[in-house]
Amino acid sequence: MSVVGVHRLVRDLERRDGLVDRLLEQPAAVLETYPLSDDEREAVLNLDAAALVDLGVNPLVMRTLLVLAGVANPDIYSHTLSLRS
């Protein structure tokens, strides 16, 4: 399974002004613009660290995504945050 879409998303979140805010406000609209599998999309929406790593996402990329989405470092695997409304 390819995780290129997740890696591109995180790269863009780090580089494009306003994209993190847009992801937090309109996650479905942002994720539509990336080639994500259904499993990848669900893992991102759920901010599911274990699922992202199981799908093959680099752990550093996964951590960056979750931290940008507001998850505190110590809570990466135990938080209850989600991008879902």
| CATH number of the domain within which 70 lies | 1.10.700.10
Sign of the Cα pseudo-torsion (62, 64, 79, 35, in order): negative
Residue 81 within a domain: no
Query: Between residues 79 and 29, which one has the greater pLDDT?
Result: 29
What pLDDT does residue 42 have? 97
The owner of tokens 């995180």 is 10
pLDDT at residue 1 greater than cutoff 60: no
Q: How many domains does the chain have?
A: 1
Question: Whose CA is closest to 76, among 63, 65, 57?
Answer: 63
Residue 84 within a domain: no
Q: How confident is the model at residue 85 (pLDDT cuts 50, 70, 90)?
A: low
User: What residue numbers bound the domain in which 29 lies?
Assistant: 4-75
Residue 82 within a domain: no
Q: How confident is the model at residue 80 (pLDDT cuts 50, 70, 90)?
A: confident
Q: What average pLDDT does the chain have?
A: 95
Question: Whose CA is closest to 10, among 51, 57, 50, 53?
Answer: 57
